């Protein structure tokens, strides 16, 4: 369980932070007013991250920051003012970053920073740089931001690592490297991985005027000129990761059905088309349609119908969440099974049909029973429309026969 500690002695600021944290942090949060209270909480709980005020009435010399760091908790500092001395002091202590409390936006920034750090946990970042020192420095900074860091000493090695670890989400690449430079690397990587899938930050040494635009034109998300300040590095990485997460959120919204939380028709078509292109024969596709659904709407209204749709989606998830499962129309769903012979798949769907008929759904707390018809086809063609037509015919036949049955397109 992730847990965040927030230490702030001002009542007003703590109120603002509580409000923002409730909105943006989906983890357990403890608030403390003082060093004393922080010590008590630290004795009782383990924390993933801390957001702490630099000075408190009982800790005027950053003792609370030293305390959280001594517990190995990555710490973001809130401070009302910053001078070069305290900046150096904080960086030397090893804080992740600091935020100056001078307006309401800075609290939002601080909370979003904590949120992004929580999301960074376990995310793989790759550094491609031929300088050992640069790699060490960047590794330290990225590890502070909770990334899992990997290294490559040139473009070729980076490319191999990216192929071996498709879950790498951030690439920091220097320009001048032996065997393959940063531009070549970015171009090669972008052949297979878009900006919404892998974030790239280009890096280059002094006197490299014009490289930033080139890096971005070749496909990098951002650029950093060396030598960079700790804070600059931190902000650029955070901003780039935030962009990547926004892409993921937008995609998720575009692919999800709002009512049931299942994938939608758009996702189903894209995903299934992709699967069929490779080896269609390993898949079986089924269309499932609730019988006489209109009657439910007529009797209980649209909201009653919606209640049933959500429960049907839950039942489907419990049976088919390992496979491509989508709501492709009003009361119509689709499942693509992988690695099943048609006969075995028919059994699976028939079992589900029986389970469905026996299931007690509820509308406004009142028990309700309904049935489902299912049309099944093996994926004998790479053409999505051909396969869908076959499944549709089978479903139509199931409705014609008696409903509450499973029909194969190959009968």
Residues that bind ligand GTP (CB under 6 A): 259, 289-294, 297, 302, 305-306, 309, 330-331, 399, 403
Q: Which residues contact 92 (CB under 8 A, 6 or more apart)?
A: none
- Distance CA(266)–CA(258), nearest Å, equals 13
CB-CB neighbours of 403 under 10 Å? 14
Residue 223 or 356: which CB sits closer to ligand GTP?
356
Q: Based on CB atoms, which residue is closest to ligand GTP, 302 or 322?
A: 302
> Which residues make Cβ contacts (< 8 Å) with residue 33, sequence separation at least 6?
7, 8, 9, 14, 56
Contacts of 358 (CB under 8 A, 6+ apart): none
Minimum separation from the CB atom of position 128 to ligand GTP (A): 49
Q: Which two tokens stand for residue 126?
A: 């790759």
Q: Rounded to 5 degrees, what angle do the CA atoms 281, 386, 312 make?
A: 80
215 vs 293, beta carbon nearer ligand GTP: 293
Cβ distance to ligand GTP smaller for residue 157 or 289: 289
| Residue 377 beta carbon to ligand GTP: minimum distance, rounded to whole angstroms | 18
CB atoms closer than 10 angstroms to residue 187 = 12
Please say which residue, 46 or 400, places its beta carbon nearer to ligand GTP.
Answer: 400
Q: Closest separation between CB of residue 179 and ligand GTP, Å?
A: 56
- Among residues 363, 390, 348, the alpha carbon closest in space to that of 309 is found at 363
Q: By C-alpha distance, which of 360, 356, 358, 365 is closest to 300?
A: 365
CB of 257 to ligand GTP, least distance (A): 9
Pairwise CA distance, residues 283 & 378, whole Å = 6
Of residues 11 and 302, the one with the C-beta less far from ligand GTP: 302
Q: Least Å distance between CB 389 and ligand GTP?
A: 18
Task: Kindly tell me which of 78 and 287 has the beta carbon lying closer to ligand GTP.
Answer: 287
Minimum Å distance from CB 305 to ligand GTP? 3
SS3 11: helix
Q: Which of helix, strand or coil describes residue 119?
A: helix
Q: How far is the CB of 298 from ligand GTP (least distance, A)?
A: 8
């Amino acid at each position: 369980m992730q847990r965040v500690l927030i230490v702030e002695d001002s009542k007003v600021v703590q109120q603002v932070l509580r409000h923002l944290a409730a909105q943006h942090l989906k983890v357990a949060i403890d608030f403390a007013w003082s060093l004393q209270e922080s010590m008590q909480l630290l004795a009782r709980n383990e924390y993933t991250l801390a957001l702490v005020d630099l000075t408190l009435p009982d800790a005027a010399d950053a003792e609370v920051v030293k305390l959280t760091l001594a517990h190995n908790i990555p710490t973001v500092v809130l401070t009302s003012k910053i001078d070069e001395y305290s900046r150096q002091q904080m960086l030397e202590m090893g804080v992740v970053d600091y935020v100056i409390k001078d307006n309401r936006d800075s609290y939002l920034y601080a909370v979003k920073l904590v949120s992004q750090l929580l999301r960074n946990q376990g995310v793989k970042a790759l550094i491609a740089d031929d300088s050992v020192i640069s790699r060490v420095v960047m590794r330290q900074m990225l590890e502070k931001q909770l990334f899992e860091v990997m290294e490559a000493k040139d473009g070729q090695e980076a490319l191999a690592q990216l192929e071996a670890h498709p879950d790498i989400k951030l690439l920091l690449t220097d320009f001048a490297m032996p065997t393959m430079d940063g531009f070549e690397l970015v171009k090669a990587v972008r052949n297979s991985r878009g900006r919404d899938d892998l974030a790239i930050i280009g890096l280059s040494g002094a006197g490299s005027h014009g490289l930033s635009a080139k890096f971005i034109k070749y496909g990098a998300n951002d650029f950093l000129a060396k030598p960079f300040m700790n804070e600059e590095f931190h902000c650029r990485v955070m901003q780039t990761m935030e962009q990547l997460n926004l892409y993921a959120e937008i995609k998720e919204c575009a692919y999800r059905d709002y009512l049931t939380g299942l994938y939608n028709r758009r996702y189903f078509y894209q995903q299934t088309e992709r699967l069929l292109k490779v080896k269609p024969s390993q898949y079986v596709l089924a269309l499932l349609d609730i019988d006489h659904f209109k009657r439910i709407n007529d009797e209980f209204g649209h909201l009653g119908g919606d209640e049933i749709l959500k429960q049907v989606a839950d039942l489907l998830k419990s049976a088919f969440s390992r496979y491509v499962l989508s709501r492709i129309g009003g009361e119509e769903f689709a499942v693509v099974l992988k690695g099943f012979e048609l006969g075995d798949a028919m059994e699976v769907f028939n079992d589900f049909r029986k389970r469905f008929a026996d299931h007690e759904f509820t509308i406004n707390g009142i028990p309700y029973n309904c049935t489902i018809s299912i049309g099944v086809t093996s994926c004998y063609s790479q053409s999505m429309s051909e396969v869908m037509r076959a499944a549709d015919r089978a479903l139509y036949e199931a409705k014609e026969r008696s409903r509450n049955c499973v029909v194969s397109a190959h009968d």
